[in-house]
C-alpha cells in the first residue's frame, strides 16, 4: 500500500542509527540530553498541526523537548511545510491503528507490525532533515467539554520510539501551537 509519495523523501543519514552504535561520543551526547532541573532524560516530540489561512492549508511542525518537569518544555524548532505532510502522517498512523486492532490477538504479528510502523515513520520524518532526533510524534486534538462547543486542546502522542517509553501518551494544552 502506497501511503505517501516516495519522491518527496530526501535520503539523509539515518538519525536513529547512532542508537545502535553506542560509543564514547554518543554516551557524552546522552548525558547532555538530561534536564538540568529534574535530572530526567529529555525527549524530543514533533508536534504536527494542520493550519488554514484564506483557503490556504499548510502544516505547522514544532519540535519541543520535554522531561519529567510538570508542564515544562523547551521549543527547539518550528517549520511550516506543505499540507501533505500532515495528511500523510495521519494516514500512516490511521493505517497502523487499524491493523493493530485486527491483530490484537496475535502478539507476534503485532510486534512485526510495530517494527514496520517504526520504520515507516522514521523514514517519513527524514524529509524534515531535522538536526534533532525525534523520539515521538504528536497531533493536537480538540476536546469538547460542553454542548456549545467549548473545549480544550490536548496533544496526543501517535508514535514513539522504543527508547521513549517514558513519554506520556497525552499532554494538556497545545504547546502554544494554537
**Smallest distance from Zn ion to CB 72, Å:** 6
Smallest distance from Zn ion to CB 40, Å:
5
Residues 92, 127: Cα–Cα separation, whole Å: 15
Q: Residues 29-68 vs Zn ion: string with x where CB under 5 A?
A: ------x-xx----------------------------x-
Please say which residue, 67 or 92, places its beta carbon nearer to Zn ion. 67
How many Cβ atoms sit within 10 Å of the Cβ of residue 21? 8
Closer Cβ to Zn ion, 48 or 67, answer by number:
67
Three cell numbers, residue 49? 498541526
User: Measured from the CB atom, is 71 or 101 closer to Zn ion?
Assistant: 71
Angle at CA of residue 47, ends 44 and 48, nearest 5°: 145
Find the angle CA(68)-CA(49)-CA(38) to the nearest 5 degrees: 10
- Residue 38 or residue 178: which is nearer to Zn ion going by CB? 38
Number of residues interacting with Zn ion: please give it, by CB under 5 A. Answer: 5
Beta strands in 42-92 (DSSP E): 43-53, 56-66, 73-81
Residues in contact with Zn ion by CB under 5 A are 35, 37-38, 67, 69
Amino acid at each position: 500500500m502506497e501511503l505517501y509519495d516516495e519522491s518527496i523523501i530526501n535520503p539523509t543519514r539515518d538519525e536513529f542509527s547512532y542508537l545502535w552504535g553506542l560509543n564514547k561520543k554518543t554516551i557524552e551526547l546522552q548525558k547532555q540530553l538530561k534536564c538540568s532541573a529534574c535530572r530526567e532524560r529529555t525527549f524530543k516530540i514533533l508536534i504536527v498541526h494542520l493550519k488554514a489561512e484564506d483557503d490556504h492549508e499548510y502544516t505547522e511542525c514544532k519540535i519541543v523537548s520535554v522531561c519529567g518537569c510538570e508542564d515544562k518544555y523547551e521549543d527547539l524548532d518550528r517549520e511550516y511545510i506543505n499540507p501533505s505532510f500532515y495528511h500523510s502522517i495521519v494516514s500512516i498512523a490511521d493505517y497502523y491503528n487499524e491493523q493493530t486492532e485486527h491483530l490484537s490477538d496475535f502478539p507476534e504479528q503485532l510486534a512485526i507490525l510495530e517494527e514496520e510502523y517504526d520504520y515507516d515513520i522514521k523514514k517519513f520524518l527524514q524529509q524534515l532533515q531535522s538536526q534533532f532526533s525525534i523520539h515521538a510524534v504528536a497531533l493536537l486534538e480538540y476536546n469538547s467539554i460542553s454542548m456549545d462547543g467549548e473545549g480544550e486542546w490536548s496533544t496526543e502522542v501517535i508514535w514513539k520510539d522504543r527508547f521513549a517509553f517514558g513519554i506520556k501518551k497525552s499532554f494538556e494544552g497545545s504547546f502554544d501551537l494554537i
